A and B are shown apart, each in its own frame.
Chain A
Amino acid sequence: MKKVIIASLLIAVTAVLATSQNPVNLYGRAAVGAKGVVAAAKPEASQVGIDILKKGGNAVDAAVATAFALGVLEPNASGVGGGGFMIIKLAKMKEAVVIDFREMAPAAATADMYKYGDDGKVIGNASVVGGLASGVPGEVAGLLYALDNFGSRKLKRDAILAPAIAWAEKGIPVTVNLAIIIRDELGKINTFPATAKIYTKDGLPYELGDSIKNPDYAGTLRLIAKGGVDAIYKGEMAEKIAKAVRDAGGIMTAADLASYQVKVRKPITGSYRDYSIISTPPASSGGTHVIQILNILENFDMAKYGDGTPGADHLWIEALRLAFADRGKYMADADFVKVPLAGLTSKAYAKELAAKIVMGKAMGSATADDPTRFESGSTTSFAVMDKDGNMVAVTKSINYFFGSGVVVPGTGIIMNDHMDDFALKPGSIQSIEPGKRPLSSMTPTLVLDPAGKPFMAVGSPGATRIIAAVAQTISNVIDHKMSIQEAIMAPRLFAMASGTVQLEGRTSVNTVKALEALGHTVNVRADWDSYFGGVHAVVFNRATNMLEGGADPRRDGQAAGF
Chain B
Amino acid sequence: MIPGTAGPVVLFSLPLAAAIVVFIRPRWSVPVTLGTGAVLLAVALWLVGVVLQQGGWRQDIGGWTAPLGIGWNVDGLSATMLLLNAAVGLAGAAFHAARPAPPATARDPRFFWPLWLFLWGGLNALFLAADLFNVYVALEFVSIASVGLIGLVGGSAQAAAWRYLLATLLGSTIYLLGVALLYGRYAALDLALLAEGVEPDLVTAVAAALMTLGLLLKAAIFPLHFWLPAAHGRAPPAVSAVLSAVVIAAGYYLLVRLWFGPFAPLLGTGVATLLGLLGAAAVLWGGLLALMQRHLKMLIAYSTVSQFGYGLLVFPLVAAGAAHPAWAGAVMLVLAHGLAKAALFLAAGAIILRHGIGRLEALGGDQRGAVVAWVAFAVASASLVGLPPTGGFVGKWWLAQAALASGGYFWLAVLMLGTAFTAAYLWRALQAAVEPGWESGGEPPTLSPALGLGALLLALSAAALGLAAPLIARLLDAGPGVSG
A binds B: no
